[in-house]
Structure 1
Amino acid sequence: MRLRRAIATPLLLLLSLLLSAPVAGPASAAEPATGFHLGETGRLLEADGSDFVMRGVNHAHTWYPTRTSSFRDIKALGANTVRVVLSSGDQWARNDSADVARVVGLCKENRLICVLEVHDTTGYGEQSAAVPLSRAVEYWTGVADALKGQERYVIVNIGNEPYGNTNASGWTADTKAAVRALRTAGFTHTLMVDAPNWGQDWSFTMRDNAASVLAADPLRNTVFSIHMYGVFDTAAEVEDYLKRFVAARLPIVVGEFGHDHSDGNPDEDAILATAQALGLGYLGWSWSGNGGGVEYLDMATAFDPAALTDWGRRLFHGVDGIARTAKEASVYRGPGGGDPAPGCAVAYRVTHQWGGGFQAEVTVRNTTAAPVSGWRLGWTFPDGQRVTQMWGGTPAQAGSAVAVTPASYTATIPANGSVTLGFLATWDGANGRPAAFTLNGAACTTA
C-alpha cells in the first residue's frame, strides 16, 4: 500500500506477448513438502496436497501492535488468511523475533494462515526512506528462529512493493537475489514477492520476468503478488493480467486491492469475480487504522467488527466475497496437523427473557474420545439478536454471525465432556434460536 499516485504511462495500454520462458516444475516428489508448495500447474498447495486459495485481508500490526483481537475478529468474519504488516526497523519500530512468534501464535490460535511482509521496502528507488530487498532478507534471517517449523502456517512475503516507478527494471535481479539468499539461509517456506511500480506492475516487469524468477528459486516455491489500485480500473485490465499468469502456470495472488484510491478507482467487482472464476487468492487492504488521506480503505471503523464500512461489508459479505468463498486451511481441519475436526453436540436454551433483552445458555459437548483445545464456536442469530455480555467465552459478532473463543477455564473441552457458556443479549420483535452451530469449522448436532 502506498499513499501517492502512480505515474501514468502508455505502457499500460500496450499488449505484450505471452510469457515464453519455460516454467519450472515443483520440487521432486521424492522430497515430501513440509509446508505450502506449488503444484505442477502453479497452484498453491498445502503440505497434504490440498489446494489453498487465500481469502483474507491485510492488518497493519506494526503500527497497531496492541490490536491483537483483530485476528479473532477477521477470522470471525470468515477469512482464512491475514497478511500482517511488519517492520525491519528502518522506517518504523522493528518487530523482533518475540513479536513475530506472537503474531504467528495469534494466526494459529485463530486458524488463519499468516502472510508476513516487511513494509520498509515500499517504493524503493523513489521513496527516500525505503530500503532494498537485501535489507528485508537481513530482517528475515534475524527473526528466523520464530519462523522455522512454521512452514504449514506461514508464507514469507519478502518485501512490500519493493520498487516505485524509478528504475523498476532492477526488480528482477534484486528479487532473484533475495529469493536465493533466503534459500541459502535455510528458509523452506513458500515465498511471496510483490510487483514493482508501487506493487501495480504497469511496466509489466514482474509479469514478463516471473518465469525466470521462479526458475531462480531452488525449491520452485515462489508466489507472485500484484497490488490492484488505480491501474486496474477496468475489468479488461484485471482479467488480462491475471489470466496471463494462469495460462503460463505461474502462481499469482492479489496481495492488496481496494474499492477506491487516490490514483484512480479500481474495479473491485472485477477483481473479486475474476479471482473467484480463476480460483486465485486475494487479500483486501485493509482491516483498520488507515491514515494519510486513505481512511476510506478501512473495513472496520476503529477496529470494531460490528461497525463495518461499506468497503468492509462489500469484501466480507458481498458477491464473491470472503464469507461466501473462503475455505479454512486443511492444516486446521486435520488429519495431518492442527486440531482434529471435532464431533460435537450443542444445546441452546433461553433461561430468561424480558422486553428487549434475554439471557441464554449454550452447552457444547465434545463427543470424541480426545480433548478439544483452542476451540472456536460459531452460530448465526435468525432475528438480529446481539450479544452484550458473555461468561465462559469471548464473543465477536459481525451482523448476525457470532464467533466465540474460550475463557481460560473453558479452553479445553474434555473427551466426552462439555463446557457451558452464558450470555446476555438484546432482541427486537422476535427471538428465534440459531438453526446451526459449528465447532472449529465443523458442523455440530443440536439438541
Structure 2
Amino acid sequence: MKRRLATIAAVLITLTAATLTVVNPAWAATGLRISGRNIVEANGSTFVMRGINHMHTWYAGQTQSFADIKAAGANTVRVVLSGGRWTANTAADVSNVIALCKASRLICVLENHDTTGYGEDGAAYSLDQAADYWIGLKSVLTGQENYVVINIGNEPIGNTNAGQWTAATVAAIQKMRTNGFEHLLMIDAPNWGQDWQYTMRDNAQTVLDADVRDNTVLSIHMYAVFNTAQSIRSYLDVFQNNNWPLVIGEFGWQFASGEVDDTTLMAEAQARGIGYLGWSWAGNTDPILDMTDDFDAASLTTWGQRIVNGPNGLKATSREATIFGGVQPSTPGSPSPSQSSASPSPSTSPSQPAGACTATYAVTGQWQGGFQGDVKVTAGGAAIRNWTVTWTFPNGQTVNNAWGATVTGSGSTVTARNAAWNGALAAGASTNFGFLGSWTGANGIPTPTCTAS
C-alpha cells in the first residue's frame, strides 16, 4: 500500500482447504520462533504482535518515534528499510535501529521495502536481491534473534504474474537459511501484499515446508480487498484451520465504505491470538493512513485513536515481550492485564457515591529500574463528564510518560486528568490510561482516588 495504493478488483470466493500435517526435523531453537501457528519467545512464552509500522528509511531522523510507539501501547514496531531503491540503510544504521527498538522494549520487525510491487513496478527489486541485502547485514543481525524478525521483502510481487511468488519466496527462504540466519522470517503476500488472487493462501504449505528451520510466519496486508467482516473471517479461517502461522503485517482503517473493516480485523485478531501491525505512525503521502499529525505523539489522528485507544486496540490488548520483563497471558488470543511476579497486587480507590468514580491501579510489566502501569477509571451510579485520579507513590517512583490522560507530578504525588475523548463515561462505564515509570529499591502499589464532575 503506502506510497502507492494498488487498485484491485477482488472477487469473493468460498475458501476451502485440507489440513496437512508436516513434521520437520527438530533443531535447537534460537530466539523468536514458531510453535504450531503461534510465535513464541525463547522461553516458550507465546508472543502476540501488537504494533505499528514506522517509515524509517524516509524519515531516519525521527528516532523519537520508537519511544512514542511504545508509549502508544505497542509491543512491536515494523521498520521500513531500503537496500538501494531509496537511500540505503547501512549496517550502522540498522544496528542503531535495533538498539532503539531494544531501548524502547519493542520487538523489531525489519523489512526490506525495495521489493514492493515487483513484476509490476519496474523499479522494484527481486526477493533474491532482498536476501542479498540481509546477507550483507548479517554481522549486525546475528545474535539478535530474541529481538529481531526479518521480513525478507515488503509486498514482493505486484498484480502481474503473482504466481511467481511461490518459487521466489521458497528460494529466498532457502538462501537465508543457507547463509546461516536463524531468525524468525516473515513473508509478505503478493498482489501488493493483499493476496486477492489467493496465491499465498493456496501455496502456504509449500512455502512453510521450504524452511528447514520451520521458523517462518506468513503476513497478509489488509486494505480494500478486506472491506467486509465476511472477507476477513473467511481468509483468516483458512490459516487457522490449517494451523498455519499468520500475522496481519499491515492494515488501515475504514475511512470509507470500500476500505478495510478495521473493527472486525482487530476483533478477529484478538479472538484468534494472531498479531497485527497497523500502517503507519506518520509520513504517508496520503495522510488518511497517518496515525499522528507530523510524528506528534500528542496529536493522534482518527486512525491513531482507533488503533491506540479503540476496542481491541493497542492499549487494550498489547502485552510486552517477556525478554523485556513483560508477563504474557497463558491463553493466546485473550490477554488480560498481568503483572511481574515481583509486583504487588492492584490497588483500588475506596467506594464512591453515585455519580462519582473509582480507580484501579496495576503494574502490567516490570523490569530493573522501570515499569509499565495501567489505571482503570469506572463511573459510579450516574454518568460523569470529566474525571481526575490522584495517588502518592510510596517509594519515590516517577512517571516518565503517559497515554490516555494528562499526567502531572509534584514530588511523589501524581495527578491524572482525562483526555478530551475519554472523560465522559456512562454510569458504570470504564476507560483506561497507562504510563511508563521508573523505580529504585521498591515499587509499591499506591492507592488511587478518583473524583468526577
Instruction: Give 2:146's match in structure 1, choosing from 142, 146, 152.
Output: 152
Contact 2:82-2:114 within 8 A present in 1 as well: yes
Q: Distance in 2 between matches of 1:246 and 1:330?
A: 25
CA distance in 1, matches of 2:303, 2:242: 32
Q: Is the 8 A contact 2:109 2:149 kept in 1?
A: yes
Match of 2:29 among 8, 28, 33: 33
Classify 1:344/1:74 alpha carbon distance in 2 versus 1 (closer, same or farther; 3 Å). same
Match of 1:108 in 2: 102
Corresponding position of 1:173: 167
Are residues 125 and 60 of structure 1, via their aligned partners in 2, closer, same or farther at CA, if it must alter by over 3 Å?
A: same
Residue in structure 1 matched with residue 200 of structure 2 by the alignment = 206
- The code of the aligned residue for 1:24 comes to V
Give the Cα separation in 2 of the matches to 1:13 and 1:35.
Answer: 38
Gaps of 5+ in 2: 328-338, 345-365, 378-386, 391-396, 419-431, 448-453
The equivalent of 2:41 in structure 1 is 46
**Is the alpha carbon distance of 1:427 and 1:42 closer, same or farther for their aligned partners in structure 2, counting shifts above 3 Å?**
closer
Cα offset for 1:425?
A: 8.8
Confirm whether residue 332 of structure 1 aligns to residue 324 of structure 2. Answer: yes
Work out which of the residue numbers 288, 293, 304 in structure 2 matches 1:296: 288
Match of 1:352 in 2: none
Equivalent-residue separation in structure 2 for 1:47 and 1:154 (angstroms): 12
Q: Secondary structure at the match of 1:446?
A: coil
- 2:184, 2:216 within 8 Å by CA — same for their partners in 1? yes
Q: Secondary structure at the match of 2:77?
A: strand
In 2: Cα distance, 1:223 partner to 1:5 partner? 24
2:129 alignment partner in structure 1: 135
3-state SS of paired residue (2:48): coil
- 1:283-432 equivalences in 2 (<5 Å): 283-291=277-285, 294-333=286-325, 372=368, 375=370, 378=373, 383=387, 395-400=400-405
Please state how far the C-alpha of 1:278 moved relative to its aligned partner. Answer: 0.7
Query: Which residue pairs with 1:409 in the alignment?
Result: none
Letter in 2 for 1:47: A
> Partner letter of residue 137 of structure 2?
V
- For 1:117 and 1:271, the matched residues in 2 are separated by 22
Structure 2 distance, partners of 1:403, 1:116, is 35
Partner SS state of residue 187, structure 1: coil
2:57 match:
62
How much has 1:74 moved relative to structure 2?
0.9
Aligned length in residues: 385
Alignment equivalent of 2:82, drawn from 64, 83, 87:
87
Q: Quick one: distance in 2 between partners of 1:63 and 1:421?
A: 41
Instruction: In structure 2, give the amino acid aligned to 1:445.
Output: I
Distance of 2:433 and 2:188 partners within structure 1: 43
1:305 touches 1:398 (CA, 8 Å); kept in 2? no
Q: Percentage identity across aligned positions?
A: 46
2:22 partner letter: A
Asked if the contact 2:51/2:277 (under 8 Å) is kept, the reply is yes
Deviation sequence 1:110-140 (CA, Å, 0-9, x none): 1110010000100001111111101110110
What CA deviation, in whole Å up to 9, does each residue of 1:211-256 have, x standing for no partner?
1100010001100000000000000000010111011010011000
For the Cα contact (< 8 Å) 2:404–2:433, is it kept in 1? no
Instruction: For residue 226 of structure 2, give the secondary structure of its aligned residue in structure 1.
Output: coil
**Candidates 69, 88, 98, aligned match of 2:92:** 98
Unpaired runs of at least 5, structure 1 = 346-367, 387-391, 405-419, 429-433
Question: 1:403 & 1:81 partners in 2: Cα distance?
Answer: 27
Q: 1:174-323 to 2 correspondence within 5 Å?
A: 174-260=168-254, 264-291=258-285, 294-323=286-315
Structure 1 Cα separation of the partners of residues 126 and 79 of structure 2? 19
TM-score where L is the length of structure 1: 0.78
